[in-house]
C-alpha cells in the first residue's frame, strides 16, 4: 500500500548529505562547551537570525520552555495565543515546570493577536501576577501555517517594550515564513528578544532546535538546559545535520508550500469550505470537517487505513503538513484517496 505521510514535517528523514556529515562530524563534550560542530551550528544559527548567540536543544518544546524559564520567574504572567504551541501542545510544561501563568488571547482567523487586547491584558499591578513575557508564533501552527510580516512583528515588540515586557518568538518554522515572504529570516527576528527555530521539521534533520538571543541570556539558558537534562555530550553527530540543513535545506522550502497549496485547492474542489485557503501560506493545511455519517476523527482514521496519514486535532479540526518526503504525485494520490473516502467509493 502506498503511504503518504502528512501528519507533520517532523516525519522527514535525514538527507544523504546529512548522513555523511554525521559520520564525519568532529565531536567533543558539549556539556563542557567543547563540541566544535555544535559550536559552529550555534554560531551559524545565531548569525542567520541576527542574534549574538545560540543554544542547541533537543527539541522546540525544550527550547521554548528554556526561553520561558530564562525570561520569567515562577508566578509571572506570560501572554500568548490560546492556540499557541506552548499552551496546547507541550503537556503543560510552562505551568508544571516554569511555574508561570499563561494569559491566552483569541487570535483572528489568520492567527494574529490584537495589539489592543495585548495591551489590555498586560498587568503591572504588584497585587497580581506580573506580566513579563509575550510569546508569538511565526509561522502560526494551528492557524494553518500563517506568517507574520516584519512590520507586524515590530508593532508587537514596540507595544510590549513600552511596558517593560520581553518578547520571545516561537519560530519553529521561521524559515518557512521567510521563504514565503521572500525575505531574510533576520528581518522577522530583529525586534524579538529571543527566538527558537526547529531543525527537525521542514529542514529535515533527525532531531534538534536552536534558541538564539543575547549572549548573557544564552549563558543563563544553558543552566536551565542542564536542569532539564538537555545536555547531550558528543552532540556534534546530530548537530552536523543542522549545519547541512542551514546550508542546503532552506531555499527548497518553497516546494513544500507549493505542495500545500495544491493539496488545499484539491480539498476545496472535493468539498468546498473544508479549507480556508487564505490561511494556506506555507506548508500547513488545517481543515474543518463534519458530516452526518462521519466525524473528522473518523475521516482521519479511514484515510489512515488507505495509507494517507493526517492528524485529528480536536472536534471537527484536522491538519495535514507537506514536506520534502512527499511529492506532488503523492499529493495527487492522497487527493484521490480522500475523494474516494468522502464519496464512499473506497
Q: Are residue 305 and residue 234 in the same domain, yes or no? A: no
Q: Are residue 67 and residue 107 in the same domain, yes or no? A: yes
- How many H helices and E strands in the chain? 14, 12
Q: Which residues contact 169 (CB under 8 A, 6 or more apart)?
A: 135, 136, 137, 138, 153, 188, 189, 192, 194, 195, 196
Containing H/E element for 23?
helix 16-24
Name 213's bridge partners: 53
Q: Are residue 190 and residue 266 in the same domain, yes or no? A: no
| Cβ contact 212:186 at 8 Å | no
| Boundary-marking domain end, from 215, 231, 248 | 248
Q: Are residue 162 and residue 231 in the same domain, yes or no? A: yes
Q: Is residue 316 in some structural domain?
A: yes
| Boundary-marking domain end, from 221, 248, 275 | 248
C-alpha cell at 270: 472535493
Split into its structural domains, the chain has a count of: 2
| pLDDT score, position 291 | 79
pLDDT digits (tens, 9 = 90+) for 251-286: 999 999 999 999 999 999 999 999 999 999 999 999
Return the C-alpha torsion angle 295, 301, 306, 307, nearest 10. Answer: 130
Q: Is residue 2 in some structural domain?
A: no
Among residues 88, 94, 42, the alpha carbon closest in space to that of 69 is found at: 94
Model confidence at 346: pLDDT above 60: no
Strand 209-213 and strand 194-198: the pairing is antiparallel
| Boundary-marking domain end, from 195, 230, 248 | 248
Q: Are residue 113 and residue 185 in the same domain, yes or no? A: yes
Percent with pLDDT over 70 in the chain: 99
Range of the domain at 150: 14-248
- Name the DSSP class of 15: P
Sign of the alpha-carbon torsion through 310, 318, 295, 341: negative
CATH of the domain at 105: 3.40.640.10
Say how far apart CA 147 and CA 113 lie, in whole Å.
12
Q: Are residue 57 and residue 170 in the same domain, yes or no? A: yes
Q: Which residue has the cell 463534519?
A: 290
pLDDT digits (tens, 9 = 90+) for 285-309: 999 998 788 999 999 999 999 999 9
Q: Is residue 5 in some structural domain?
A: no
| pLDDT score, position 290 | 85
Q: Is residue 6 in some structural domain?
A: no
Q: Are residue 71 and residue 205 in the same domain, yes or no? A: yes
- Name the pTM for this structure: 0.96
pLDDT digits (tens, 9 = 90+) for 168-181: 999 999 999 999 99
Burial of 55 by CB count in 10 Å (0-12 exposed, 13-18 middle, 19+ buried)?
buried
Say how far apart CA 331 and CA 124 lie, in whole Å.
50
Amino acid at each position: 500500500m502506498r503511504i503518504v505521510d502528512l501528519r507533520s514535517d517532523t516525519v522527514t528523514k535525514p538527507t544523504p548529505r546529512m548522513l555523511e556529515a554525521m559520520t564525519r562530524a568532529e565531536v567533543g563534550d558539549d556539556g563542557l562547551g567543547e563540541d566544535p560542530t555544535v559550536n559552529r551550528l550555534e554560531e551559524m544559527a545565531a548569525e542567520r537570525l541576527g542574534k549574538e548567540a545560540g543554544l542547541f536543544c533537543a527539541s522546540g518544546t525544550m527550547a521554548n520552555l528554556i526561553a520561558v524559564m530564562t525570561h520569567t520567574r515562577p508566578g509571572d504572567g506570560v501572554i500568548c495565543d490560546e492556540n499557541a504551541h506552548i499552551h496546547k501542545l507541550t503537556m503543560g510544561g510552562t505551568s508544571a515546570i516554569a511555574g508561570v501563568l499563561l494569559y491566552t488571547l483569541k487570535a483572528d482567523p489568520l492567527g494574529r493577536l490584537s495589539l489592543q487586547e495585548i495591551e489590555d491584558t498586560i498587568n503591572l499591578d504588584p497585587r497580581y501576577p506580573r506580566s513579563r513575557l509575550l510569546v508569538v508564533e511565526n509561522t502560526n501552527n494551528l492557524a494553518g501555517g500563517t506568517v507574520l510580516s516584519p512590520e507586524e512583528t515590530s508593532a508587537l515588540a514596540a507595544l510590549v517594550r513600552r511596558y517593560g515586557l520581553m518578547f520571545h518568538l516561537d519560530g519553529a518554522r521561521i524559515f518557512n515564513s521567510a521563504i514565503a515572504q521572500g525575505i531574510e529570516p533576520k528581518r522577522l527576528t530583529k525586534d524579538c528578544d529571543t527566538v527558537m527555530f526547529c531543525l527537525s521539521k521542514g529542514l529535515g534533520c533527525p532531531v534538534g532546535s536552536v534558541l538564539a538571543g543575547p549572549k548573557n541570556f544564552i549563558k543563563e539558558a544553558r543552566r536551565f538546559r542542564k536542569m532539564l537534562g538537555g545536555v547531550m555530550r558528543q552532540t556534534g553527530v546530530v548537530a552536523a545535520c543542522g549545519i547541512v540543513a542551514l546550508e542546503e535545506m532552506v531555499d527548497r522550502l518553497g516546494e513544500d508550500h507549493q505542495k500545500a497549496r495544491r493539496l488545499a485547492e484539491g480539498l476545496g474542489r472535493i468539498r468546498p469550505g473544508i479549507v480556508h485557503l487564505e490561511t494556506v501560506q506555507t506548508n500547513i493545511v488545517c481543515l474543518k470537517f463534519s458530516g452526518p455519517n462521519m466525524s473528522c476523527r473518523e475521516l482521519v482514521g479511514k484515510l489512515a487505513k488507505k495509507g494517507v496519514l493526517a492528524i485529528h486535532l480536536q472536534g471537527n479540526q484536522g491538519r495535514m503538513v507537506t514536506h520534502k518526503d512527499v511529492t506532488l504525485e503523492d499529493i495527487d494520490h492522497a487527493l484521490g484517496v480522500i475523494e474516494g473516502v468522502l464519496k464512499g467509493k473506497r
